[in-house]
Amino acid sequence: MDRTYASPSSQNLTAITTNSVDFASSSSPSPTSMSTGGSRAVKIIQLEHPSATASSSSETASASASVVSKWKARMKGMTWKEWIELFFPCYRWTRTYKVREYLQSDLMAGITVGIMLVPQSMSYAKLAGLQPIYGLYSGFIPIFVYTIFGSSRQLAIGPVALTSLLVSNVLSSIVEPSDTLYTELAILLALMVGILECIMALLRLGWIIRFISHSVISGFTTASAFVIALSQAKYFLGYEIERSSKIIPLVESIISGADKFAWPPFIMGSLMLAILLTMKHLGKTRKYLRFLRAAGPLTAVVLGTAFVKIYHPPSISLVGDIPQGLPKFSVPKQFGHVKSLIPTTVLITGVAILESVGIAKALAAKNGYELDSNQELFGLGVANICGSFFSIYPTTGSFSRSAVNHESGAKTGLSGLVMGIIMGCALLFLTPVFEYIPQCALAAIVISAVIGLVDYDEAKFLWRVDKKDFLLWTITCTTTLLLGIEIGVLVGVGVSLAFVIHESANPHIAVLGRLPGTTIYRNTQQYPEAYTYNGIVIVRIDAPIYFANTSYIKDRLRDYEIEKEESKGRGPEVSRIHFVILEMAPVTYIDSSAVQALKELHQEYKSRDIQLAISNPNREVLLTLAKAGVIDLIGKEWYFVRVHDAVQVCLQHVQRLTEFPKARDSLAENKPSLFQRLLNQRKDEFFQPELESGVHESLLSKDTNPQL
């Protein structure tokens, strides 16, 4: 249905001059001059107003029915193959496995990463304060479980540096690493992490982690890399240093024990680190040498072990005895410490989601298959739960090993099975050899791995693109270094949420103007050529309106009422604002507080003889306004589909104000409201349209005429 404002007949054109307005004729000397040129009828699109009662009940019922019906249809439509894929994602690639195309690539990738995993798992176990054997266990059982329940075909899970540091940090504050309780708590932590991951996956709560900014994660991992590297310095220096997640105690401990410095482990560790970094660099920069990246840890272990076996240096500490054989089934113990482990469980789970799921999604996109984040989280959870019964500590996806797995050509989860087999062979046959691995060689492996976590490129990017995110990165990095991991993450997340709240409570609001030669209205700051109209301000609110931002929006509207750009104004000259048009297309939601604020704003405007108009609200917003009675309060005739429609109606009334100068004093004389009289007059007669008639034809001619 259209509202039509028909132009009067040519016979009555002279009599009804108020309905044939030309604000800026191309032949007139000023924008305020009048013209009684010809005009034509214009149709204003009718805004459909929903019923507050019927729409609410029917909409709720239809939404509920839609969700239930979709769920039932999906369940009924699933085949037995889809049911198997739902519970065992590995079935997706096993039933379409192409032996000739995939087998060789999977075997090579599995062998490459498996060789890399063996020394890394022992190194990360030492970082976690555990015996190396628990790192080997953690790189064995979870791989097989994840291959069955995980959906990524390239993700390599197992011990990682960041998780190991978190485990060490929390457990060392409870008990000494030499105590048996320390190991039991690490195993219990794996069970708790797995349970939390599975719960979040089943409840589809992975979206919660979206509130943690990437700047927070980057700053956190950068600071953690420095802490991890300094914690491994004791194996290079030859003396014990304080175990801490804060950089100042670590540096003080290193300086205070300088008199115990030993040259042999330092020289050997530095050589191993140099070899690792060189091989990693060559593997990244030259494709034909990319195998060197994976072979680096094994090379360091072999060289270090060979040197020790030949020369037997007394000042270089060794890994020592490692039990031989596969892990045995045992139930986690020490459930009395569950409460104290909950914060770390949440933190490790958050790191797992951000790191593992992010890597898995990126690799899935590169290899052309879809990945369900919640299924991925469930696979990680089951891997940790099952692994906890075989003496593992928390595991997750490794960025470095997953990258090597992808670069080595892994096509399916078979590469993960090959990694697990290699780890099993190492447990069965190679543990006697591992006894002679130098501690400094394992420390060099850890340091070379965490160097990649120092994300200075991200810091430079943030400084160039967004200073606010750079500040967030700096705050997180600094607090993590100075106050510890848990406090650093909490501060980073807190500041990140504070930024979100600030942006939400102070939304972007733009004053709109008309682009010359069009009926399009855009931000006047973005488009300086856009012009406004005297007596009318058009405001667009680019956010949902709710209790937190209503005060800010009202304040800005008051400012826009005062701030009038005379140089851009078109139309009749008026002394103040008479109409405020709210463009509500970007407003996706409005709550009860915002509705009340809108009522108050309307009353304020009414007391100052200003009319409020609403443009293009969506169905949900319009329904809320209808329930609250705001539509009837403002008047249905002041709701429009387009800004263009609202402007042309308001311009007609602005023109009437210039033709009835005595009407401006109506409020002071306690006469009926000016807008009430205009509205009554509008109901009794048809108005001549301004925008599509000769009014805007003349404005367009002015825009295109450089002399005007």
Instruction: Tell me the pLDDT tens digit for each residue of 375-392.
Output: 888 999 999 999 999 999
353 band by pLDDT with thresholds 50, 70 and 90: confident
**3 state DSSP class of 560:** helix
The answer on pLDDT for 58 being more than 70 is: no
Window from 73-82, 141-150, 323-332 with minimum mean pLDDT:
73-82
The answer on pLDDT for 53 being more than 70 is: no
The answer on pLDDT for 578 being more than 70 is: yes
pLDDT, average across residues 252-259: 91
The answer on pLDDT for 217 being more than 60 is: yes
Decide which of 358 and 8 is more confident. Answer: 358
Window from 70-74, 96-100, 336-340 with minimum mean pLDDT:
70-74
Window from 64-68, 415-419, 498-502 with minimum mean pLDDT:
64-68
Q: How many residues does the chain have?
A: 708
Q: Say what the pLDDT of residue 16 is.
A: 30
The answer on pLDDT for 700 being more than 70 is: no
pLDDT winner (highest mean) among 48-52, 584-588, 649-653, 669-673 = 584-588
Block residue for tokens 């306004």: 625
68 band by pLDDT with thresholds 50, 70 and 90: low
Window from 114-128, 162-176, 290-304, 564-578 with minimum mean pLDDT:
564-578
Decide which of 152 and 357 is more confident. Answer: 152
4 band by pLDDT with thresholds 50, 70 and 90: very low
pLDDT, average across residues 65-72: 63
The answer on pLDDT for 679 being more than 80 is: no
pLDDT, average across residues 74-89: 75
Contact 523, 510 (CB under 8 A): yes
H/E stretch holding 615 reads strand 611-615
| Among the listed residues 383, 331, 382, the one whose alpha carbon sits nearest the alpha carbon of residue 141 | 383
Q: Say what the pLDDT of residue 193 is.
A: 95
Q: Say what the pLDDT of residue 470 is.
A: 93
325 band by pLDDT with thresholds 50, 70 and 90: very high
The answer on pLDDT for 649 being more than 70 is: yes
pLDDT digits (tens, 9 = 90+) for 454-485: 888 888 999 999 888 999 999 999 999 999 88
The answer on pLDDT for 490 being more than 70 is: yes
| Among the listed residues 381, 328, 375, the one whose alpha carbon sits nearest the alpha carbon of residue 352 | 381
The answer on pLDDT for 1 being more than 50 is: no
pLDDT, average across residues 9-28: 32
pLDDT, average across residues 190-215: 85
Q: Say what the pLDDT of residue 677 is.
A: 52
pLDDT digits (tens, 9 = 90+) for 587-626: 999 999 999 999 999 998 888 889 999 999 988 999 999 9
pLDDT, average across residues 561-582: 74
pLDDT, average across residues 34-57: 55
pLDDT, average across residues 80-89: 78
Residue 326 structure tokens: 């596969």
pLDDT, average across residues 630-654: 89
Angle, helices 456-465 vs 467-483, to 10°: value is 140
The overall average pLDDT reported for the chain is 81
Q: Say what the pLDDT of residue 263 is.
A: 92
pLDDT, average across residues 89-93: 84
pLDDT, average across residues 567-581: 78
Contact 692, 652 (CB under 8 A): no
Angle at 322 between CA 316 and CA 323, to 5 degrees: 165
pLDDT, average across residues 338-365: 84
Which value, in Å, is the radius of gyration of the alpha carbons in the chain? 35
Write out 479-529 in H/E/C secondary structure. HHHHHCHHHHHHHHHHHHHHHHHHHHHCCCEEEEEECCCCCCEEECCCCCC
Residue 311 structure tokens: 């020369």
Decide which of 675 and 72 is more confident. Answer: 72
51 band by pLDDT with thresholds 50, 70 and 90: low
d(C-alpha 144, C-alpha 327), whole Å: 14
66 band by pLDDT with thresholds 50, 70 and 90: low
The answer on pLDDT for 20 being more than 50 is: no
CA atoms within 13 A on the CB side of 591: 9
Q: Say what the pLDDT of residue 414 is.
A: 92
pLDDT, average across residues 67-76: 67
H/E stretch holding 247 reads helix 247-256
Q: Say what the pLDDT of residue 693 is.
A: 41
| Among the listed residues 169, 171, 174, the one whose alpha carbon sits nearest the alpha carbon of residue 187 | 171
Block residue for tokens 């404002």: 5
d(C-alpha 617, C-alpha 585), whole Å: 5
563 band by pLDDT with thresholds 50, 70 and 90: low
The answer on pLDDT for 661 being more than 80 is: no
Contact 436, 309 (CB under 8 A): yes
**3 state DSSP class of 431:** helix
Which residues have a Cβ under 8 Å from the Cβ of 39 and sit 6 or more positions away?
Answer: 7, 20, 688, 689, 693, 694, 695
The answer on pLDDT for 703 being more than 50 is: no
426 band by pLDDT with thresholds 50, 70 and 90: very high
Q: Say what the pLDDT of residue 28 is.
A: 30
The answer on pLDDT for 185 being more than 80 is: yes
Window from 69-83, 360-374, 488-502 with minimum mean pLDDT:
69-83
Percent of the chain surpassing pLDDT 70: 82
Q: Say what the pLDDT of residue 587 is.
A: 92
pLDDT digits (tens, 9 = 90+) for 532-556: 888 899 999 999 999 999 989 988 8
pLDDT, average across residues 68-93: 75
Looking at beta carbons, which pairs linking 629-636 to residues 24 or more positions away fall under 8 Å? 630/595, 630/598, 630/599, 630/602, 631/49, 633/599, 633/602, 634/602, 635/679, 636/47, 636/49
The answer on pLDDT for 10 being more than 90 is: no
